[in-house]
Amino acid sequence: MIYDWRSPHSGGYKWNPLRDQSIYKHFVNYFPVKLHKTAELPAGKNYLIVSHPHGIIAMSTVINFCTNATGIQEKLPLMNIKVCTLMGQFLVPLRRELILLHGMISCSKNSLKHLLNIENQINNIVVLVVGGAEEALDAYPGSHILTLKNRKGFIKTALETGAHLVPCYSFGETDLYQQAYNPPGSTIRNIQTRLKKLFGFSPPLFYGRGIFNCNFGFLPYRKAINTVIGAPIPIDKKKNPSKEKVDELHKLYINKLINLFEDHKTKFGVPKETKLIIK
């Protein structure tokens, strides 16, 4: 941590033998987790996979993209895959090295641009969970609520770098934990909102199952997760994209994401009448 501040911002490093450890297969089978690729992501380009929903701890993103337990490297054999997380995650010694070796990088703008700029390098995939801490507060079993309406930074980054946008949705992510009831305007939510403004994040009040019981604990429930990677949205690089261009692409992205959700929801146990809510 003292001698190497640059790695999280300059592409990081990963060690595939660690990502391939057999223990992760057991972890996947616990839920289970399955990864479904609906379209090709041809080599020779860079891609920004936008992962939804955040859930309580973004379990599906970590399993699918920080390990090879669901076969991501076989599905995208020529690609260098990295996963974004908050810079604070890299401030704890040993933990920092562990997440770097699993392919995590900082979610700073410079970090994303370093890997995604097509003029620098190609065959990179960066995975970003845009909903963040705010979206986690809406993660209830059976819910499909995304904090996305005003999240446009990733759109601008894609335009500035020329990286193709790829929507990704994990059905079952929000079923892994229960959360204390905290509707907008409630005392709990107001406290969480203040904490988020002060510290940049707000921990949800959640619980799962225990080791020897299914009623209370902090292990996730054994609920199936199905992660669906959609088709890439082609992007033409623009050095200084206009607000209108960003808004246009943001609208297109949301439409593609909704279509992905609608096309696959009934396959994975989501009622036909359920809609994806964008906040």
**Residue 2 confidence (pLDDT):** 54
Task: Summarize pLDDT for 22-66 with one digit per residue, the tens.
Answer: 999 999 999 999 999 999 999 999 999 999 999 999 999 999 999
Split at pLDDT 50, 70, 90, the class of 1 is very low
**Residue 3 confidence (pLDDT):** 57
**Letter for the amino acid at 268?**
F
Q: Is the peptide bond before 32 cis (omega within 30 degrees of 0)?
A: yes
Task: Assess contact for 133 and 139: CB atoms under 8 A.
Answer: no
Split at pLDDT 50, 70, 90, the class of 107 is very high
Task: Summarize pLDDT for 210-269 with one digit per residue, the tens.
Answer: 988 888 899 999 999 999 999 999 999 999 999 999 999 999 999 999 999 999 999 999
Q: Which residues contact residue 142 at a Cβ distance below 8 angstroms, ignoring those fewer than 6 apart? A: 174, 175
More confident residue, 40 or 4: 40
- Percentage of the chain beyond pLDDT 90 is 87
**Residue 201 confidence (pLDDT):** 75
Task: Summarize pLDDT for 154-186 with one digit per residue, the tens.
Answer: 999 999 999 999 999 999 999 999 999 999 999
pTM: 0.95
Q: Is the pLDDT of residue 151 over 80?
A: yes
Split at pLDDT 50, 70, 90, the class of 92 is confident
**What are the structural domains, with CATH classification, of the chain?**
7-278 (3.40.1130)
Tokens of 33: 């987790």
Which position has the token pair 């990677």?
229
